[in-house]
């Protein structure tokens, strides 16, 4: 049996639509409509094909729709983390990046950059926390806050794809 995931791709393909939508409803943060759209593309030959279907969903969105996707993401080490109100996936990802145990100074620095970034772009800074640690996150936000809005929408969506792919991998056995 493969490691990672809880279902085989055959089991994923056999799910009722409602079950699929429930299971995959947060692989893109707070975006159950993505799962609904992707469910209609079944059957998938591989886990990678399922991941590509979610990538394609994001790629076909208009710019304003991509902004909405980004707006649904929580701030890193923000108020929702402090209050325990993140989705289970986001809470786990931020903990793995060490964002739940920042020093007072690190928390303030990230908070300042989060505010500056959100003020400029009208959506929170999105980065795949499971692929990064605090220092790389701080470096990335410091660099990316200087980008254009168009560039940040594109970079943010690429990060959403990384997050989605990892979350799908948590649910579906990897391909052999």
172 beta partners = 7
Q: Is 73 a catalytic residue?
A: yes
Task: From the candidates 73, 161, 165, 167, give the one annotated as an active-site residue.
Answer: 73
Q: What is the DSSP string of 9-68?
A: HHHHHHS-HHHHHHHHTTSSTT-HHHHHHHHTT---SSHHHHHHHHHHHHHTS-HHHHHH
Specify the residue for token string 């799908």.
Answer: 168
Residues 47-82 as b or e (16 or more Cβ within 10 Å = b) = bbebbbbbbebbeeeeeeebbebbbbbbbbbbeebe
3-state secondary structure of 159: helix
Phi, psi dihedral angles at 172 (to 5 degrees): -120, 135
* Active site (catalytic) residues: 73
């Amino acid at each position: 049996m493969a490691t990672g995931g809880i279902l085989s791709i055959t089991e994923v393909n056999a799910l009722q639509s409602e079950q699929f939508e429930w299971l995959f409803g947060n692989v893109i943060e707070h975006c159950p409509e993505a799962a609904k759209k992707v469910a209609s593309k079944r059957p998938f030959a591989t886990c990678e094909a399922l991941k590509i279907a979610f990538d394609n969903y994001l790629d076909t969105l208009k710019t304003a729709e991509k902004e909405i996707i980004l707006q649904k993401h929580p701030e890193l080490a923000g108020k929702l983390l402090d209050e325990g109100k993140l989705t289970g996936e986001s809470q786990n990802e931020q903990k793995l990046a060490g964002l739940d145990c920042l020093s007072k100074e690190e928390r303030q620095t990230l908070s300042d950059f989060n505010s500056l970034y959100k003020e400029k772009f009208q959506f929170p800074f999105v980065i795949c926390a499971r692929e990064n640690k605090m220092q790389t996150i701080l470096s990335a936000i410091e660099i990316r806050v200087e980008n254009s809005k168009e560039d940040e929408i594109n970079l943010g969506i690429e990060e959403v794809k990384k997050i989605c792919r990892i979350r799908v991998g948590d649910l579906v056995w990897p391909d052999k």
